Amino acid sequence: MTLQNLICIQNILIPNGAFGSNQSKYLRSHLTTYSSDEIVIFEGGVASFDSYYNALSLPVWKEQCGLNSIDFCVRGKGKAVVKLFIASMSTDYELANQTVELNESLQSIFEYDLSKIEHTGLLYVTISPMDDKVVFKGGGWYTREQPKRDVVLGISITHFNRKNYVLPAIERVKKNILDNPKYTNKILFTVVDNSKNITKEEANGVNVIPNENTGGSGGFMRGLLHYENDTNATHVLFMDDDASCETESITRAYWILSYAINSDTAICGSLFIEDRPDFLIEKGASFDTYGRPNSHNYNMAARDSLLAAELAHQPKITYGAWWFFAFPIENIKNYTFPFFVRGDDIFFSLSNKFNYIAPIGIACYGESFSAKTSPLTIYLDTRNNIVNSFYLQRPVRKIVKTYKRLYLAALYSHKYETVAAVRLAFKQIYGDIDFWFKNYDLSDIRKFFSEFIKVEKFTNVDIDSLKTVYVYKPRKKIIKKISFNGLLFPMRNKIAYQEFGFCANYDHIFRFKNILYYKPNSKTGFIVKVSRIKFFKLLFCLYIDVFKMKWNYKSNLAKYKNNFGKLTSRDFWVKILKI
């Protein structure tokens, strides 16, 4: 069988500085140099591809896709020893080795029968020079087996006033995928423009659909309806408008969907923290009464963490986030709930059953969720946590626990406007169901928050002039508990420094009258004043809310159960989107 019959399912990625990642996410090496299109390995050196982006996952390709035959192909220059290994949780095994003369033509180094491998693990190769040096100029993992289905993957991006992000994303995807004849009519691309400001010239030949600002919920549903109504797409890929990923992630998703044993397979891209790009925010997630990320804070440049994330037991994935989520259209039974943003991806996954996988090597980069926390985002999280819990018919005690978690984190951080936002969400959820039919665009809510938030909004801060306190001592848990974190003791009339996040470090704000929440990267922040009166009044309100939640649980459960179908129907979204 000639190389023309081989299908490349995963290219080797050479390290690059596009997202600031450590070289080890691509390559582990000794005595090597690299540029954008080649790796030079000098005498005595080695290039090892046991890495996040370049190892081949047997849990994905053997277990989920049923591949038996795999080839590793390479092109380059020089005489080299190429070895094939499998890395398991406990040890590595050498499976094969070859001494070859590399040249400009792609050649298959190994054809390996995966059925011979008894253990799960990650396949990888090492390349070492026989003489003074070897030049690696490209290669990857191939198979001689044919795909199980013909996939047409429609990418849908929702954009709102972020041209500086979406236009470079359009250019990257067009250059690296759409202009590649291999993917003509196989991978499609649409931008749903909620701000209606992308010009024809800026679109660069990519399909752009002007849309009312219905948030991510409406934008992504508009993209889905486009692919359902107007194309022959079999699968859809939802992505953030910056498409901040290696474009190889998109083609890898395409091939996994083509070979997957289960036709209902959906791919959840991982998310890395933008300012710590080797660390995962999540690699798949589950929802009970709030989202729980898998492999959170795992360092994918560290080999042990990489193996644990892909090979060790993780909680079952129950939803895919829409920074990168690819799924089959034929499995769609419900559209999403009109949250506008936050939680729409969770509802969509919970109400449409997929076989979720989160492979290594498919990922995006984004800002940490804690850094994006605000009264509005906590309001949105409260809504989605409770409504999605109603959909799953979770016990009221669990819903109450999640509500208290959000409420008390804000209260003990003395973010009183955030507490008010949590209570507003509660009031609206437990109010008239017509609220959701009338507020799908969130325009009135966003206007309310822009006027209501006076304290908890970021402005430039001259931190040196504030004389904030940075040094603290730990307090015993019992002391913090019985004193309501120092509120029953005399207060210090100074400013405690807190790097901004989801909630304060309670040791650090113990007995302080003022707290500065600060973002070092932007040198912005805000100061909250601690008030005993507000604190205890809002603490009392929490118990009133909890009583109402328990008392009205069954009636609200029935109310939502009777309306989920209407609020997530095709007819609802067609009407809202004015198609």
Model confidence, pTM: 0.95
Q: Read off the pLDDT of each residue in 79-102 and give the average, rounded to a whole number.
A: 96
Cα of first residue to Cα of last residue in the chain, in angstroms, is 50
Asked if 289 and 88 touch (Cβ cutoff 8 Å), the reply is no
Which residues of 294-410 form beta strands (DSSP E)? 324-328, 355-357, 363-366
Asked if 498 and 517 touch (Cβ cutoff 8 Å), the reply is yes
The domains found in the chain, sorted by start residue, are: 3-143 (2.60.120), 153-368 (3.90.550.60), 373-555 (no CATH)
Question: pLDDT digits over 277-287, tens only?
Answer: 999 999 999 99
Give CA–CA dist 41/525, Å, rounded. 48
| Distant-in-sequence contacts of 192-198, Cβ < 8 A, 24+ apart | 192/156, 192/157, 192/158, 192/159, 192/219, 192/220, 192/222, 192/223, 192/226, 193/159, 194/158, 194/159, 194/160, 194/218, 194/219, 195/159, 195/160, 195/161, 197/161, 197/163, 198/159, 198/163, 198/166, 198/167
Question: What three-state secondary structure class fits 329?
Answer: helix
Question: Does residue 435 register a pLDDT over 80?
Answer: yes
- CA 399 centroid distance within chain: 24
pLDDT at 370: 79
The helices-and-strands tally (H runs, E runs) of the chain is 17, 25
Q: Read off the pLDDT of each residue in 305-321 and give the average, rounded to a whole number.
A: 96
Q: Identify the band that residue 2 occupies on the pLDDT scale cut at 50, 70 and 90.
A: low
pLDDT at 4: 74
pLDDT at 371: 79
Neighbour order of strands in the sheet with 512-519: 459-460, 524-529, 512-519, 492-499
**DSSP type of residue 280:** E
Question: pLDDT digits over 132-163, tens only?
Answer: 999 999 999 999 999 999 999 999 999 999 99
Q: Read off the pLDDT of each residue in 499-507 and give the average, rounded to a whole number.
A: 92
Count Cα neighbours of 109 within 13 Å in the Cβ-side half-sphere.
28
Question: What three-state secondary structure class fits 502?
Answer: coil
Q: Identify the band that residue 360 occupies on the pLDDT scale cut at 50, 70 and 90.
A: very high
Q: H-type helices in 281-395, by residue range?
A: 303-311, 344-351, 375-391
Q: Identify the band that residue 1 occupies on the pLDDT scale cut at 50, 70 and 90.
A: very low
What is the dihedral angle through the alpha carbons of 231, 208, 443, 162, rounded to the nearest 10 degrees? 130
Q: Which two tokens stand for residue 419?
A: 């507490």
Task: Report the alpha-carbon angle 78-80-84, nearest 5.
Answer: 145
Q: Read off the pLDDT of each residue in 402-430 and give the average, rounded to a whole number.
A: 98
Instruction: Report the amino acid identity of residue 70.
Output: I
Give CA–CA dist 153/12, Å, rounded. 22
Asked if 300 and 278 touch (Cβ cutoff 8 Å), the reply is yes
Contacts of 4 (CB under 8 A, 6+ apart): none
SS3 of 464-482: the string is: HHHCCECCCCCCCHHHHHH
Question: What three-state secondary structure class fits 547?
Answer: helix
Question: Does residue 390 register a pLDDT over 70?
Answer: yes
User: Is residue 95 exposed (0-12), middle (13-18) or buried (19+ Cβ within 10 Å)?
Assistant: middle
